[in-house]
Amino acid sequence: MIPLDKIEHSKHIVIEVNNENFPQASILYSYSLLLHKKVSLFTVDGISSRYSFLPWFEKLRLNKPSSADACIHTDIAILDLYFFLKELNIKLNKKMATAFYAGFLQEYDNFLSSQCDGIVFAVLSELIIAGADSQTCIRELTQKVPLSVLRLKSIVYKKALLKNNATLAYVELSNEELEASGAKWDDIPFIAKKLLNIAHVEKVTIINVDEKDKIINLSKEI
C-alpha cells in the first residue's frame, strides 16, 4: 500500500518506476502535485516509449535526486490504487483518469483477462466520466507498436521452440540480439503474451542467456 504518511510529511518525493507500472507512477505524480509537493520521477533502466502519451512521461530522469527526503515505489495493483485515492475523496482530473485507464488496460490484458469483472468495468465507466482519454489509451497501447519491438518479435518467433507436447514455448535470447533489434528486455513481456496465442501453447519461458537472472515465465489463464 502507498505510504500515506511518507507522502504527507515529505517535501521532495521521488517516485521510482519501472516499465510495468508507469501509469501508477503518473497517477502518484499528479496526486503529489495536488498536495503541493516537489516530486521527481526516477527510473533505473528507462521506460518504453509506448507510454510517452501519458502525463509526466517527459519528467522521467535516470539520476535519483539527492535532495529528496522520501522514495515511493509503484508496485501497487491499479485497482488498489484507485480505491486508495477514492477513500481519500480525491477527485480525479483528466490526467489522472487517463493514466488510470491506461493502467487498467495494461493490467487486465486489454480487458480480455478473466480477472476483468463487473467492478473493473464499473470503475472504467467512472474514469470516462472523469475525462479519461480512453481512445488514445487504446490506440497507443494496443494498436501502435515500435519498430524495434517488431524486430525483436521476429527474432523471438524465429527462435521459439515448442516443448512438452507443444504446450511450452521456450526462447533463449542474447544481449546481442536485443541490441540488434533496438528493443529492451522490458519489451519482452509484451511479446511473450503473443506467444500464448500459438495453438496448444499454455506456458511461455524466455531466458536471457547472458544475464541468467532475466527470465520471463507466463502462463495462460484458465
Q: Would you say residue 5 has pLDDT above 80? A: no
pLDDT of the residue at 193: 87
Same-domain check for residues 151 and 47? no
Q: Would you say residue 177 has pLDDT above 70? A: yes
Q: What is the pTM of this model?
A: 0.80
CB contact set of 86 (below 8 Å; sequence gap of 6+): none
Domain boundary among 96, 123, 143: 143
In this structure, the strands spanning 168-173 and 203-208 are parallel
Counting Cα atoms < 13 Å in the Cβ hemisphere of 7 gives: 19
pLDDT of the residue at 1: 61
Q: What is the pLDDT of residues 8-62, one digit of tens each?
A: 888 899 999 988 899 999 999 999 999 999 999 999 877 888 899 999 999 999 9
Q: Would you say residue 222 has pLDDT above 80? A: no
Segments forming the whole domain that contains residue 119: 4-143
Contact (Cβ atoms closer than 8 angstroms) between residue 132 and residue 140: no
From its phi and psi, is residue 165 left (phi > 0), alpha (psi between -120 and 50) or beta?
Answer: left
Q: What is the pLDDT of residues 56-85, one digit of tens each?
A: 999 999 988 888 888 888 889 999 999 999
Q: What is the pLDDT of residues 108-165, one digit of tens each?
A: 989 988 899 999 999 999 999 999 999 999 999 988 888 999 999 999 999 999 999 9
Contact (Cβ atoms closer than 8 angstroms) between residue 180 and residue 190: no
Same-domain check for residues 214 and 126? no
Cα R_g (the chain), whole angstroms: 19
% the chain with pLDDT above 70: 97
Same-domain check for residues 139 and 151? no
- How far apart CA 13 and CA 25 sit, in angstroms, is 12
Q: What is the mean pLDDT of the chain?
A: 91
pLDDT of the residue at 186: 81
- How far apart CA 23 and CA 185 sit, in angstroms, is 19
Please count the residues of the chain: 222
Same-domain check for residues 15 and 64? yes
Number of domains, the chain: 2
pLDDT of the residue at 3: 67
pLDDT of the residue at 169: 97
pLDDT of the residue at 7: 79
CB contact set of 31 (below 8 Å; sequence gap of 6+): 7, 85, 90, 96
Alpha helices in the chain (DSSP H): 4-8, 22-34, 78-87, 94-107, 118-129, 134-138, 147-159, 175-181, 188-195
The CATH number covering residue 207 comes to: 3.10.310.30
Domain boundary among 117, 143, 169: 143
